[in-house]
Structure 1
């Protein structure tokens, strides 16, 4: 495996995007476990894009503007839902009471965290096109098993994605108490996350034009 692939993949994973924003939001709202679970969900959301790339469905998306736009607008709609949910969920970021059992806020079900994370990445057609353009560059010409090679590279990328996103989540959770203890900070945090989801949705729309 080339150093160029590892460095490029690391830079891509570190670049803030939809998954990072959601992981940070989950970690600040519900603690380190939710951050790690969100990271796992975002990583699982990559699987369909990898399969689409390997089986050739990415070529169809690339050749069909209609297919690309339909998937893009579905992704934008979900991002707007996430923005709205972030703004109205005023009970998510709360200060744990010292005498509460376990000393923590009620945890959001892991299935909901994972489900939202998977949908965020699943409904982002740029990921499919990214893998379609990115992975073949690291498959040697004449490779007898290009699909196997691409699956291996995808596996490494997914492991790297989980590690980076989980680190983001744990870092956010480590300052959670300092953040949630200040109501004004909480209000602005919700607005920033909601605005980030809207901005990412706008970028998807622009990319589809």
Structure 2
């Protein structure tokens, strides 16, 4: 079992990391602005659910594969980059639609949740980050290290979800106001498409 001081330190560090500009928080921000707060919160839930994959990978030692195998790392990152490019194309496509057409093409909450999960698990850098970050807060003298890894992963998911939810609520309000302006919705979709394309390029060019 982790001691109270370690938990406090870990929660503080996790919250700051969740607030740092990165693919996940930008994904939540853009989706909340274009699709609303509820959609952003569902995507945030999907992103945080995807962290189960990375936590398990660290706990079972699988994350080492992404750190040592260029092939495994490259395959996963290019799948993720391709998916981000797909989202960019969809956003630009939505920008060219009328408001009625856009309303008809809204994704279900289930689809948005799956989008968040897929977005998260196809970024191998998260596994490598967890591999370096989580073990720093474990202590073999106080209990099973694997159990501590899962507990830390759960705490990180909780911190991230709280941060992402607050971002979703704020971005959703901004997006709702902006979409009421002339061509506001089209501009938001173009911004989202540009962000997705930039994230795809960054992921494709990333190294371990």
Q: Same fold (TM over 0.5)?
A: yes
Quick one: distance in 2 between partners of 1:89 and 1:21? Answer: 19
Taking a change above 3 Å as real, the CA distance of residues 167 and 92 of structure 1, as seen in their structure-2 partners, is farther
- 1:146 to 1:179, Cα distance in 2 relative to 1, 3 A: same
Give the TM-score of the pair, scaled to structure 1: 0.86
Specify the alignment match of 1:43 in structure 2: 48
Matched, 1:147 2:152: no
Give, in whole Å, the separation in 2 of the partners of 1:59 and 1:152: 20
Q: Deviations over 1:68-103 (max 9, x none)?
A: 1111111111111111111112388949xxxxxxxx
Contact 1:30 1:92 in 2 (8 A): no
- Mapped to 1, the partners of 2:35 and 2:205 lie a distance apart of 32
Q: Is residue 29 from structure 1 mapped to residue 34 from structure 2 by the alignment?
A: yes
> How many Å separate the matches in 1 of 2:31 and 2:201?
22
Shift of 1:24: 2.3
Q: Distance in 1 between matches of 2:204 and 2:62?
A: 21
Task: Kindly tell me the number of residue pairs found equivalent between the two proteins.
Answer: 200
TM-score of the superposed pair, with normalisation by structure 2? 0.87
Query: Matches of residues 6-25 of structure 1 in structure 2 within 5 Å?
Result: 6-25=11-30
- 1:83-125 C-alpha deviation (Å, 9 max, x unpaired): 1111112388949xxxxxxxxx665311111111111001000
Q: 1:77 aligns with which of 73, 82, 89?
A: 82
Unaligned 5+ residue runs, structure 1? Answer: 96-104
